[in-house]
Structure 1
Amino acid sequence: MSLFGKKLTPKEQMRQNDRALRKTERELDRDRRKLELEEKKLETEIRKNAKAGNKEACAVLAKQLVQLRKQKTRSYTAGTRIHAVSAQQKTMGANAKLAGAMATTTRTMGQMNRAVNPQQLAQTMRQFEQESAKMGMSEELVNDTLDDLLTESGDEEESDAVVNKVLDEIGIEISDKMRLAPSAERGAIGSKSSAVSDSDLERQLAQLKTS
């Protein structure tokens, strides 16, 4: 169907059909209301003629009432069918929208599948893993280099000087690798008579190394 020579889209066609169905339903409602009013009038006339004893008039009016009620029933039936058609059209419209959404999704998925090369993706992942491994190795090398740079060559000599100074203060000479250290126990070094045990020396040296 076309409007002013232009072909309607499915959405426009559905809107047009929906307007026509609603219009028909409104017309049927008006007709039923008229029929109901006419029905009440006939019932009133039949009662009047029945009280007056006019059987012939009652018979004619009764036939009219029967026909009117049949027409009202047909009107309700038509209204029910029109309502069913309207509901069916809405269902079809929802299905059409769903089909359109699925078609769009299918196209999008196809475009993505064409854009993504599985082999290229696998190669990229392998390169990523290789670069990650290289980065880990580089980080380890950098840390080792920084440790070497931060550990100056004079630190060990400075530490030895501090140890010697402390040992001198407590009356111990560490010449020839502390072989004279036991003489401190006999009071042979200096005028100090206090004995220094090996455990005391080890404890003091440990404190110096951790300070």
Structure 2
Amino acid sequence: MPLFSKTPTVEEQLRANDRVLKKTQRDLERDRNKLERDEKKLEMEIKKAAKEGNKQACTVLAKQLVNLRKQKARSYNTGSKIQAVGTQQKLMHSNMKMAGAMGTTTKTMQQMNKVMDPQKTAKMMQEFTKESMKMEMSEEMINDTLDDILTESGDEEEQDAIVNQVLDEIGIDITGKLLDAPSAHKGKLGESSKARTTDDDIEQQLAALKDL
């Protein structure tokens, strides 16, 4: 047998207390059942004595019945108190768990506050915002450059041809009406309304991207 017994944990003590309370409740319930049987027996004896006209026996039995009923009432009262103790014990255990959780959370926050540098975090966020803006500008310039490279001079003529074909299919003839109208993509000198992108322009835009 060990000299020093192990201290039970809160959960172990709670289970042990719960077993004791349940056993006590069962014992009280058995006693109440016996008292109820005795109560019915006394009532029958009182009725029998009353039929026989034995007033003295009726008086003695009635006093016994009163005491028995008081005892039964005390048993119910004790059972209610024991049940309340069990409920209170569970509430205390729940409060202890919540207090422990709060203590753990407090320690976690303290550790985070020790390792976290607010100024460093703010600087990191500023750098992130700055680099994000650079990336957005770079993406926009690359997209514009690719659009200029990939745009062909015949795109507008092809679109006009498709429009005319659709109009012809639905029975609308606008060829004669648009003969004298200026072209949507040419100026007075027959030049494109949007200047062609030269190789020098592309090189300048790519050089600007490298400087970001």
Q: The TM-score by the shorter chain falls in which range?
A: 0.5 to 0.7
Higher RCO (C-alpha under 8 Å, 6+ residues apart): 2
More helix by share: 1
| Corresponding letter in the other structure for 2:28 | L
Q: Distance in 2 between matches of 1:9 and 1:16?
A: 11
The equivalent of 2:130 in structure 1 is 130
Against the structure 1 CA distance between its residues 201 and 60, is the aligned structure 2 distance closer, same or farther, given a 3 Å change threshold?
A: closer
The CA RMSD measured in Å over matched residues stands at 3.1
| Corresponding letter in the other structure for 1:75 | S
How far apart are 1:134 and its partner, in Å? Answer: 3.0
Deviation per CA, 1:26-84, whole angstroms, max 9, x where unpaired? Answer: 11111001001001101111111111122222222222112211111111110111111
The equivalent of 1:84 in structure 2 is 84
Q: Distance in 1 between matches of 2:139 and 2:87?
A: 69
How far apart are 1:132 and its partner, in Å? Answer: 2.4
How far apart are 1:95 and its partner, in Å? Answer: 1.2
- The yes-or-no answer on 1:23 pairing with 2:23 is yes
The equivalent of 1:48 in structure 2 is 48
| Corresponding letter in the other structure for 1:18 | D
Greater CA drift, 62-71 or 111-120: 111-120
Against the structure 1 CA distance between its residues 140 and 40, is the aligned structure 2 distance closer, same or farther, given a 3 Å change threshold?
A: closer
Against the structure 1 CA distance between its residues 77 and 201, is the aligned structure 2 distance closer, same or farther, given a 3 Å change threshold?
A: closer
TM-score by length of 1: 0.64
Structure 2 unmatched ranges of 5 or more: 154-178, 194-212
| Corresponding letter in the other structure for 1:82 | I
How far apart are 1:133 and its partner, in Å? Answer: 3.2
Q: Distance in 2 between matches of 1:15 and 1:73?
A: 29
Structure 1 unmatched ranges of 5 or more: 156-198
How far apart are 1:113 and its partner, in Å? Answer: 2.6
Greater CA drift, 40-49 or 95-104: 95-104
Greater CA drift, 95-104 or 18-27: 95-104
Q: SS of 1:89's equivalent?
A: helix
The equivalent of 1:184 in structure 2 is none
The equivalent of 1:195 in structure 2 is none
Q: SS of 1:125's equivalent?
A: helix
Against the structure 1 CA distance between its residues 41 and 147, is the aligned structure 2 distance closer, same or farther, given a 3 Å change threshold?
A: closer
Q: SS of 1:37's equivalent?
A: helix
Deviation per CA, 1:100-123, whole angstroms, max 9, x where unpaired? Answer: 222222223233333322111011
- The yes-or-no answer on 1:71 pairing with 2:51 is no
The equivalent of 1:175 in structure 2 is none
